[in-house]
Amino acid sequence: MAISGDTITLVVPVYNEEAAIPRFLEEITLRLAPLDASLEILFVDDGSRDRSFEVIRDASLRDPRIRYVKLSRNFGKEVALTAGIEMARGDAVVPMDVDLQDPPELILEFVRLWREGYRTVYGARRRRDADTFMKRLTAGAFYRLFNAVADMRIPEDAGDFRLIDREVVEVIRQLPERTRFMKGIFSWAGFSTIAVPYDRPAREVGQTSFNYRKLIRFAMDGITSFSTLPLRVWSAFGAVMALASLGYMLIVVVRTLVFGVDWPGYASLMSAVLFFGSVQLISVGVLGEYIGRIYFETKQRPLYVIEATNLGGAAVSARVGAADPSGSGRTAA
């Protein structure tokens, strides 16, 4: 098979996936055998507590296509994905999961469409039978809500599995925000985009580390990163309530002047106090979400810290410090 001059980098975030990594590498080798391009497999170990890093490191000794970045602790998938994209060296980059719910053979179609001129080619899920009914319901509701309130749209049927051109990668590398919602960032970058439909299979090995608490936080990060509508909603709601209160105050004044003072109304008064107290607490919470993000942005901490890598100094982002010139593969944060 002739190899073109193109290099495709697979960016694979990993957290406690030691059982899935060997199977993933087997499938990649088998399914991407027809790929007429050089292949780089970049694992990002996001502070795994099992033997994931040891499995990756041993595999890299047997296969020169395998590169790795080991983060010093668990920074979260979005940050791990960012680290991999920043350090990928390919002409095109494919973020994907290690659990094989992203079919490797689809990358062949991604590459074909990329060579036709598309800058982003994403996998569009036709079916998500492997997910629970509640997860499908909440995911659909989130994407509809996001697209309703944000200034840009993200595909409702797409995850992180996609091919992005080097030009798109360079745009993403320039985005410095600490709260990373990668689906939004991919869409924000723009460029010509096309979908490739596929059926998302069930996870083959291990269990997902996501839970509803993480998904809720993920949804909050997404909405607050790309929309200020929640703030405007509470401003509008406050204005409406102020007008309603003014109207009610006028009614009370008129009744008092006409009928005199009466004492009934304790229940309605307490209901109003409790209701508006709750509204104020919610509005303060919304403000707090945005203020908290401003607080973390102003600290200017690096997104991640690298503990070990076999990429060498040239690929290490300036945001995580300079590479160790000794060539040991370690970096200073």
Which tens digit of pLDDT belongs to each residue from 139-179?
Answer: 666 666 666 666 767 777 777 888 989 988 888 888 877 77
For residue 266, what is the enclosing H or E element? helix 266-299
Mean pLDDT of the chain: 75
Do 19 and 46 form a contact (C-beta atoms < 8 A)?
no
Residues 185 and 67 in one domain: yes
pLDDT digit string, tens, across residues 248-299 = 767 766 766 666 665 566 556 656 676 677 677 677 777 777 777 776 767 7
Q: Domain of 261?
A: 229-299
Would you state the structure tokens that stand for residue 186, as one six-digit string? 């991919």
CATH of the domain at 75: 3.90.550.10
CA 67 to each of CA 10, 61, 78, 223, 253: distance values in angstroms, whole numbers, following the listed order: 10, 10, 19, 33, 75
- Would you say residue 332 lies in a domain? no
Q: Which residue bears the tokens 């509803």?
A: 212
Confidence bin at 42 (pLDDT 50/70/90): very high
Predicted local confidence at residue 172, as pLDDT: 85
Residues 193 and 236 in one domain: no
Residues 282 and 312 in one domain: no
Residues 86 and 203 in one domain: yes
Residues 294 and 313 in one domain: no
Residues 194 and 244 in one domain: no
Residue 288 CB coordination number (10 Å): 11
Is 130 a residue whose pLDDT tops 70? no
Do 92 and 6 form a contact (C-beta atoms < 8 A)?
yes
Do 110 and 183 form a contact (C-beta atoms < 8 A)?
no
Burial of 89 (0-12, 13-18, 19+ CB in 10 A): middle
Residues 100 and 190 in one domain: yes
Residues 197 and 261 in one domain: no
Q: Which residue has the higher pLDDT, 237 or 104?
A: 104
Residues 190 and 239 in one domain: no
Residues 36 and 79 in one domain: yes
pLDDT digit string, tens, across residues 105-118 = 889 989 889 888 88
Alpha helix (H) residue ranges in 91-177 = 106-115, 133-149, 166-173
Predicted local confidence at residue 35, as pLDDT: 83
Nearest to 86 by CA among 179, 190, 191, 170: 170
